[in-house]
Structure 1
Amino acid sequence: MTHIRIAYKSIIIGLLFFILIRPYAVYGAETREIGKEIPRKTAQEYYRRGLEYDKQNEFKLAIEQYDRAIAVYPEVAAYYLKRGEAFFKNKQIEQSIEDFTKAIEIQPENYEAYFDRARSYVAGNQKDKAIADIKQTVKICTDTIRINPKNTEKYINRGQVYMLLDDYDNAVYDFSRVIEINPRSDDAYVRRGIAYGMEYEFDLAIADFSKAIALNSSNDAAFLLRGEIYFFSERLEQAIQDYSNVIRLKPADPVAYAKRGFVYMMSEEAKKAHEDFQKAKSIDPQVAESIGWRMAVSGISYSHIAANVPEKDDFDKFLLRDIKEYFNANQNAEIKYEFLRKGPDQIGVSPPDYYLWVEINDNGNRQAGAMRVTAISKKTFGISTYLTKEAIEKNFSDVYKIFPLTVCVKIANKI
């Protein structure tokens, strides 16, 4: 069943993955030292055509162009990386793994190739290999930072990997280091604002987006993201203002029109909503429909979160109470927990789930393990799954059946 994260997460990840999370891709960069000029230009032209087909979701045609580029210059990792992505999108998983592996052979320090291969391993149900590649991705980024601790791009690279792993605390750390090194980096403030938003620290996120705008009044991403938070915080007038600023900066952006139209609809301004939806459709019908659907579904998801998650002051109290009851522990038992993923997962219309690592000491009887709990009616947490550390060590494959892969990575680190 498809996971639908709480509103802010489900929209932001889909909307800005390729805009903000992966802008430092190395596609095409390796051609700078690979032989004669004419063949190089020929390969690059095939590669460029492949990128254009990719943008149009014509993956088979893109693959044909990448094939030609590779035939001319088979030593270029970027060509294999992009063809592997096209294979993946075309559901040719084994071929994508082969291409990512070839990219790694050519360029062993290419962290993107490891991460992309991990994604293919997940799709191919080879999750042990996926976790190994994810760990290698982080290691490569960390090693490059050790070599050059003042290089802001390296922190950005590692931060984006942490974002993709739902490890927002570490992502915040890396983007904060960029800000320390370069306090005028509006991009770093935007990235850290996203990470704060993923952790539900909306006030901190708004502050970062606002700082980015103060540094660069043309940063349309900062306006767009701040508008998202204003919308989900029911500050509709401010959301409209931010979406309007995006439209001012990017008059042909269907996303901003669709989002502003949705907010106008929520504000019962039907005429303005209709005008914005029509404008979005005239620019890109698919994007307009996708944005409207996401915002509607996310609104439903958010309503389930709000209806079931306890208030902030009660959350810890209720959770510890129900964990203690699950273990039938004494009142003086010591229980510690940490989130394996901050914030709830919303699955369909079910109550929201949380993933925890729990440690308990009940009169010297110690145990630890991974737990999935469900928030119910703002007053109760139901424990649906608990795997002890010993059980996990004995058969890790059971973990994959219960927890998302990014959570599995954290569980693997625990043991």
Structure 2
Amino acid sequence: MVLIGGVAVIHNRIAFRGIIFCLSFFVSIMPFAVYGAESSKSGVPILQKVAQEYYLKGLEYADRNEFKLAIEQYDQAIALYPKSADYYLKRGEALFKNQQIEQSIKDFTKAIEVQPGKYKSYLVRARSYIASNQKDKAIADMEQSVKICTDGIKRSPKDTEKYIDRGQAYMMLEDYENAANDFSKVLELDSRSDAAFVRRGIAYAMEHEYDLAIIDFNKAITLNSNNDEAFLIRAEIYFLGGNLERAIQDYSEVIRLKPANSVAYAQRGYVYMMSGQAEKAREDSRKAESIDKKIADSAGWMMAIGSISYSHITGNVPEKSDFDAFLLRAIMAYFSAGPNAEIKYEFLRKGPDQVGVSPPDYYLWVEINDNNKRQTGAMRVTAIDKKGFVIPDFLTKDTIEKDFSEVYKIFPLTVCLRIANKIKKEHRI
């Protein structure tokens, strides 16, 4: 008898995760922006006011990707007023973007010392730890960010901002199911929050629940017809689903609402090119470059790479009707399992992980019991030519517990976190 548990069925319309993720990242970090770290009310010392002026100037430079100049302004702000966590946080972000990773870690650490309850500092420090290959510290910071948000919710269970914060933390952790649950809680408390609909829609899209995502974006637009974020992400989903006309319409709405949005021009131009409208594609490309060439080039590159990745996914992942049977067959062959083996597995990340031109990977937690011989562990599975799967890596639970560093060599960091949680959960049981 064969038991299959927790299987996420992947259909033929698999999205390019990178496009959605990049856009969702920009949307999800918007609450992180700080436009006034300290009060300018009467009575505030003059040095603090001057420090705020330097800080705001630093934000302007950072917005223009002039990070060295931004760092210089933040240096002045901190020298005058070293008690603001936001000053360290923003200088750390500029240092990170300027490839000064170790210095960014020091600033994020200082921000945490100044204001320990600021969950965003832990998230951005985790990113720096990832870049410096300190993955265990990154995981600890990500877990701490969720804990801080959860503690805030316990204190104020009806504060929608607390759920938004934790939902953003879950999004950074790629825990889209819990993120969607938090955004749903926001909507229970405030059914007219178009921002919550947008964020839940992104979480659904990252889980390949495209129909649910479209519904949420539609609701957001109904509540606020000027919500350019909803149009922008919905356009991506239409593009990925092959509905180029609707994608163009939504990009056009973004451009109407935000005429200086170079991303919308660049990506509408790409869709025009894909639909055979070469002249309009060239016009949009020129317009995007005239607004911001760096962003336009990045957006165009992202769409081009997305198309390549999309073709590799659709060219390798089996059809819906074959997916479960092919995956089970590969697992049984890997373990040389007999016909009466019991197999359970669940996805550690829904959907395929596509890197460059390599075949797409899936990550599973597998349990197999064959003739009373039980094995449990984490597995990487690769889809090949729509005909099946191969299994390049499997780490037993015992191996993971003995040396967790082996996990980092195979799995993405957020998958490593889920594996760690799996081990903890089994120990509690």
Normalised to the residue count of structure 1, the TM-score between the two structures is: 0.95
- DSSP-derived class of the 1:284 partner: helix
Q: Give, in whole Å, the separation in 2 of the partners of 1:61 and 1:126.
A: 28
Give the CA deviation at 1:15: 3.1
2:193 aligned residue (178, 185, 204)? 185
- DSSP-derived class of the 1:24 partner: helix
**Counterpart check, 1:312 vs 2:327:** no
**Counterpart check, 1:25 vs 2:70:** no
Q: Which amino acid aligns with 1:21?
A: S
Give the CA deviation at 1:288: 1.9
Listed as ranges, the gaps of 5+ residues in structure 2 are 1-13, 424-429
Structure 1 segments, 4+ long, off by >6 Å, are: none
1:195 aligned residue (197, 200, 203)? 203
Aligned to 1:358: 366
- DSSP-derived class of the 2:352 partner: strand
Q: Give, in whole Å, the separation in 1 of the partners of 2:112 and 2:301.
A: 38
- DSSP-derived class of the 2:348 partner: strand
Q: 1:44-86: per-residue Cα shift (whole Å, max 9, x none)?
A: 0010111112122222221111111111111111111111111
Aligned to 1:243: 251
Q: Which amino acid aligns with 2:188?
A: E
Give the CA deviation at 1:33: 9.1
Task: Go from structure 1 to structure 2 and tell me whether the alpha carbon gap of 1:77 and 1:26 turns closer, same or farther (over 3 Å shift).
Answer: farther
1:171 aligned residue (170, 179, 190)? 179
- DSSP-derived class of the 2:242 partner: coil
Contact 1:7 1:299 (C-alpha < 8 Å) held by counterparts: no
Listed as ranges, the gaps of 5+ residues in structure 1 are 1-5
Q: Give, in whole Å, the separation in 1 of the partners of 2:106 and 2:277.
A: 53
Q: Give, in whole Å, the separation in 1 of the partners of 2:33 and 2:261.
A: 26
Contact 2:20 2:205 (C-alpha < 8 Å) held by counterparts: no
Q: Give, in whole Å, the separation in 2 of the partners of 1:36 and 1:190.
A: 38
Q: Which amino acid aligns with 1:47?
A: Y
Q: 1:346-384: per-residue Cα shift (whole Å, max 9, x none)?
A: 122111001111111223222211100000111211001
Aligned to 2:426: none
Aligned pairs for 1:5-404 within 5 A: 8-18=16-26, 20-25=27-32, 27=34, 30-32=37-39, 36-404=44-412
Give the CA deviation at 1:182: 0.9
Q: Give, in whole Å, the separation in 1 of the partners of 2:278 and 2:32.
A: 42
Q: Give, in whole Å, the separation in 2 of the partners of 1:400 and 1:364.
A: 30
Q: Which amino acid aligns with 1:124?
A: S
Give the CA deviation at 1:16: 4.3
Q: Percent identity?
A: 68
Give the CA deviation at 1:323: 0.5
- DSSP-derived class of the 2:357 partner: coil
Task: Go from structure 1 to structure 2 and tell me whether the alpha carbon gap of 1:230 and 1:131 turns closer, same or farther (over 3 Å shift).
Answer: same
Of 215-224 and 51-60, deviating more is 51-60
Relative contact order, higher structure (CA 8 A, sep 6+): 2
Normalised to the residue count of structure 2, the TM-score between the two structures is: 0.92
Q: Which amino acid aligns with 1:243?
A: Y
- DSSP-derived class of the 1:357 partner: strand
Q: Give, in whole Å, the separation in 1 of the partners of 2:47 and 2:25.
A: 33
Contact 1:223 1:245 (C-alpha < 8 Å) held by counterparts: yes
Q: Which amino acid aligns with 1:226?
A: R
- DSSP-derived class of the 1:104 partner: helix
